[in-house]
Structure 1
């Protein structure tokens, strides 16, 4: 069959067939040595139609090549895993679209949140500990009346990276107007990204023997910027933010790890992910090879809410039920962070552990109260 007839039968354009030939994805059965005209066998139609269908799914060509090399059952599993990943990404975009609709609606409304409700304040505490195994602490935890943050550094310059991102975030949010919550956080995060890159370069230059490790450094970041009625959340990596509301504990961030992506694709169960040997391997972080853009969104606050920001030194070691119990039973943020760190260390303390706990209270209860504890 000539390329024209084959294209019509397969539902592909001749241009697409030439592209797939160049990629080795769908090679013609014969090419005229003089004219260069391509000829295909009728037996190639099934693969050509499969390629066309996969392209309609939006599957990248490199992934299509992998699927076409598999047998029927394995190919079906690969398509299933790909589509689950697409659905997870679509859900994330749907959440972003819902946020944007809500955010733009708020901007157009005459009455602001602060005008409609009494102002709220926070009581907060932060604590970071090196744990029982690690020789040094690469975590950074910080809390004040406006900013709550946890960063977990990794690599040779991980400690510098986590300190740099939180330091730059503190300076950045102070430099931005309080009325532009997401704008303030986005600008601050961009400054923080540059600060992390600078810290990693400095770490590489200052440690010739470990330059490779320092160059691979990076940091997670989970932070919340407070205005008195709302929190803007920034998140990247596997540090987490939780919300304790009406007795229920909800994880409000999504881990950017290899095993979480496998769970999203249906290739691992949450139970299998918890004990997976690569459960700490990040696919998104600030700095290093996994450098990517953090997620940003708004979070409404209510009186009585309690927020926990923590590194995986807590969440990977202490069961969620125990975390919830501590947050529910301990009234003061300072004691809560101390007890959470103690829980992690009682479970072996295999990693650095950092926690920030913040309670949302009515404005009448007084000014935002720092209860910082430095470990």
Structure 2
């Protein structure tokens, strides 16, 4: 028996207070930011009831037009893959969606690298994707854009940062506290746009989780998490009811704390899960 999920989702995508361009992009179940929209802060809300959905954040690297191109390529390729799923011929469960996303990661990585090589420049983008299918969720990521799950009174990071700082934490060389100000926190070990000759990249994939009513997923770039700590994130989500209020409040906190980078925040609130025959 299949399940339909009703979501209340919103995105805020802002240049921030220091950068002059926006290298971030997002994917809101089919919607993403086009080049002509980059000069303004984007605020969108989305409500839907369906069997499957995809949400994502990409944080481009390479500087101005290069980072913008990388993140735009990533979300454009994601739209193409999502259209294949919508056609109803590619997967029958969330495991199938994850398999399709492996193919997407390979294709997007190759596309970004080829653009980079053709122009003799270096560029790339992080990737954090939330999948919803038949009342279940799964996440995958490359880089340091994150996905959190706020459930009841807890906040859990579902993704793993692909940074040098995270590697040093795992080795016991840095603590979570000392890593916050360490230069290695911005050194990425994985992202889209890595040369194929360096090997096939594999995104970190989280556990498949059953959805619960009132779950809130947060997908964000480091423009949020570098400015707002987990306790503030949890407090802000708990204080808000609608996803648009959550996304706006989180982005505003990042701006109040300095807004040193582009800020992209997607909040996805699970309103209901129901069975269909």
TM-score normalised per structure 1: 0.60
Structure 1 alignment gaps of length 5 or more:
1-111, 365-375
Is 2:232 aligned against 1:319? Answer: no
Deviation at 1:129, TM superposition (A): 0.9
Deviation at 1:332, TM superposition (A): 0.9
Distance 1:119 1:193 in 2: 29
Distance 1:152 1:189 in 2: 19
SS of the aligned residue for 1:279 comes to helix
Extract structure 1 runs of 4+ deviating beyond 3 A.
203-206
Is 2:137 aligned against 1:231? Answer: yes
* Residues 193 and 161 of structure 1, relative CA distance in 2, 3 Å threshold: farther
Deviation at 1:199, TM superposition (A): 3.5
Match of 1:151 among 58, 76, 86: 58
CA contact (8 A) 2:91 2:97 kept: yes
Alignment-derived partner of residue 41 in structure 2: none
State the Cα RMSD in Å: 2.1
* Residues 167 and 192 of structure 1, relative CA distance in 2, 3 Å threshold: farther
CA contact (8 A) 1:168 1:188 kept: no
Structure 2 alignment gaps of length 5 or more:
30-47
Alignment-derived partner of residue 247 in structure 1: 153
Is 2:76 aligned against 1:191? Answer: no
SS of the aligned residue for 1:360 comes to strand
Distance 1:282 1:181 in 2: 28
Distance 2:204 2:226 in 1: 21
- Alignment: residue pair count: 242
* Residues 195 and 308 of structure 1, relative CA distance in 2, 3 Å threshold: same
Deviation at 1:178, TM superposition (A): 4.8
Distance 2:252 2:57 in 1: 17
Alignment-derived partner of residue 292 in structure 1: 201
The CA deviation string for residues 178-199 of structure 1, in whole angstroms up to 9 with x for no partner, is 5232323332442343234323
Deviation at 1:322, TM superposition (A): 1.2
Deviation at 1:264, TM superposition (A): 0.4
The CA deviation string for residues 71-126 of structure 1, in whole angstroms up to 9 with x for no partner, is xxxxxxxxxxxxxxxxxxxxxxxxxxxxxxxxxxxxxxxxx6x4xxx643211111
SS of the aligned residue for 1:292 comes to coil
Greater C-alpha radius of gyration: 1
Distance 2:248 2:104 in 1: 31
Distance 1:351 1:195 in 2: 24
CA contact (8 A) 1:168 1:192 kept: no
Is 2:55 aligned against 1:170? Answer: no
* Residues 149 and 224 of structure 1, relative CA distance in 2, 3 Å threshold: same
SS of the aligned residue for 2:233 comes to helix
| Higher RCO structure, 1 or 2 (CA under 8 Å, sep 6+) | 2
Distance 2:26 2:126 in 1: 12
More strand by share: 2
